[in-house]
Chain A
Amino acid sequence: MSRYPLISTDAITDASTEENASQSIISIKQLGKSFVSGSGKGAVRYQVLKDVDLNIKRGEFFILLGPSGCGKSTLLNLIAGFEKQTEGELLVDGKPIDRPGKERAMVFQHPDASLFPWLNVRENIEFGLRMQGVSRGERKAVSDRYIELAGLTGHERKFPRELSGGMKQRVQIARVLANDPELLLMDEPLGALDAFTRRVMQDELVRIWTETKKTVIFVTHDIQEAVLLGGRIGIMSIGPDSRVFEIIDNRLEYPRDLTSREFNLMQKKLQSIFQDDLYFHL
């Protein structure tokens, strides 16, 4: 690790130790996850994540950046509680995670797989509240608010199949926000959208995040998207044994201007990490 020129040791200590516990919503220490595929003599153990150290601050927009297959989604699934780590510690608000919880909401990449097609927009958004036994009137008040926030006004009675990809992702976002989670986990939510819709949704995400002040962990493999959205950008090494090996502070002011000099400098800085041969030997 020390051989690597771009790593500022400051950034790492800053990320893992100095941050005090009250400020961070998630603290991850020496986290590892391995899968065993096959059985008997042919069983192969694959170590996806190893020695991941990471603290997520309350209210921040954190990006997990890395190429496909580096374990970003696995890390997100561990935080969501969909999967269990094999090594290390993963605390949310000081408590270990053993199952999914409504304080940790996930926005999936594919809305068709995760939205409920038999429910209309409003019913999808109210799903979490309905499961918790919230009264109809109260549900309506909440869903009204998030329908408006997510820009879905006028589409309340439509079914997911009647919506475009971008609109479906708005529904997913409104659906998790209606549940008032502390943490929004986003697994490449804009990855399946066309370039134009994607740009619009990026700005929308920034707007929604600014208005709600939720903590967001956003997974992407798109450097421009990372710079556009993230307050801090965690860069993951390629698998196996992936870890977050550097965290870049991105203090550009929101909403960010893609064409500004500072934006491009930041993008260049990230680009150079991935283009460096050493990246592949971490």
Chain B
Amino acid sequence: MRFVRKGLKAGLVSWLLFLIVWQLVAMNSNPDYFPTPIQTLKGAVELLTDNSLISYVLISFKRVVLGWLLGSLLGIPAGLLIGRFKWLRELVEPYLNFFRFIPALAFITLFILWFGIGEPSKVILIMYATLFIVILNTAAGVVNVEDDKIRSARSLGASERQILIHVIIPAVVPAFFNGVRLAMGNSFMAIVGAEMIAANEGVGYLIWTSRLYSKTDWIFVGLLLLGLMGFAGDQLLRWMGKTTLGRYGIAKETRFGK
């Protein structure tokens, strides 16, 4: 009983159940449409042996990380400024509220036109997908810094510059961290779309081209890879957050904010 409960907590039970259901469904359908877990694993081995699997994963990952980093680096200072200055907030709010409804993917054709078919257009796409989330979260974080904190600092003798560096930025860390985490998720969505439309490599490309060869098992491999990459990226980010930014209140709040 205790073993089961531990497994449930670690997510093992969920995945075991997932595999069982998958197997049952697959056994009752055409393998061309719905491969079994074993067939999928075989597909993965095929892709591993010709080295495409690893290189696709690395390429997609590189695009995501690069674009996401650039977007975050740009979004944090922008968010800080927008949160800090009311006039700036009023100036850019209409843009933010307009552009955030245009999905990153909708820009892919334009970006290819502007930045070429190569890597830049994809990285810029991810940057775009990241930017707004990071700006909005950071700016909201700045606006929500309690007045009492700023007043405390002021009456303890802090200058306006010191308040920004020693009060507002540290207080915004959890909000900004939430932003970059959400943005990471968005980046994966955007990169798959971009790779399906315009790429010769990457996980999105794998999923898209596998249909040409009726390799449903490869599609499954691609989907599982995306889940794994996202999960690994998020875990890595959270671990880094916990170890380096723990004191700012990025705690172990994991599932559904528990």
Q: Which residues of A contact B (CB under 8 A)?
A: 80-82, 99-102, 104-106, 108, 110, 113-120, 127-128, 130-132, 159, 161, 175-176, 179
Q: Is B148 within 8 A of A108, CB to CB?
A: yes
Q: How far is the CB of B257 from chain A (nearest CB, A)?
A: 16
B173 at the interface (CB under 8 A from A): yes
Within 8 A of A (CB), among B96-153: 146-149, 151-153
B152 pairs with A106, CB closer than 8 A: yes
Contact A102 B157 (CB under 8 A): yes
Min CB distance A116 to B, Å, is: 7
A residues less than 8 Å from B149 (CB atoms)? 113-114, 116
B155 with A80: CB separation less than 8 A:
yes
Which of chain A's residues has its CB closest to B155's CB? A100
Given known A-B contacts A117-B249, A118-B249, A131-B166, A179 and B157 have beta carbons under 8 A apart: yes
Chain B residues contacting A108 (CB-CB under 8 Å) are 148, 151-152
> Does B148 contact A105, Cβ atoms closer than 8 Å?
no
B residues adjacent to A (C-beta < 8 A): 146-149, 151-159, 162, 166-167, 170-171, 173, 247-249
Q: How distant is the Cα of A81 from the Cα of B155 in the complex, in angstroms?
A: 9
B151 & A80 in contact (Cβ 8 Å cutoff): yes
Bound CA span A259–B153, Å: 40
Of the residues B155, B159, B247, contact of A105 by C-beta under 8 Å = B155
Interface of A is mostly: loop
A113 pairs with B148, CB closer than 8 A: yes
Chain B residue with minimal CB distance to A80?
B155
Selected from B148, B156, B247, the residue in CB contact (under 8 A) with A102 is B156
Residues of chain A lying within 8 A (CB to CB) of residue B153? 127, 131
Known contacts A116-B170, A118-B173: does B157 contact A128 (CB below 8 Å)?
yes
Residues in B with CB closer than 8 Å to A102 are 155-157
Q: Which residue of A lies closest to B151 (CB)?
A: A82
The answer on a CB contact under 8 Å between B158 and A131 is yes
Please name the residue on chain A nearest to B163 by beta carbon: A131
Cβ contacts under 8 Å, A101 to chain B: 155, 157
Q: How far is the CA of A114 from the CA of B158 in the complex (A)?
A: 14
Which of A104, A114, A118 has the most chain B CB within a 10 Å cutoff?
Answer: A118
A158 to B2, CA, bound (A): 34
Q: Which residues of B contact A99 (CB under 8 A)?
A: 154
Q: Which residues of B contact A117 (CB under 8 A)?
A: 248-249
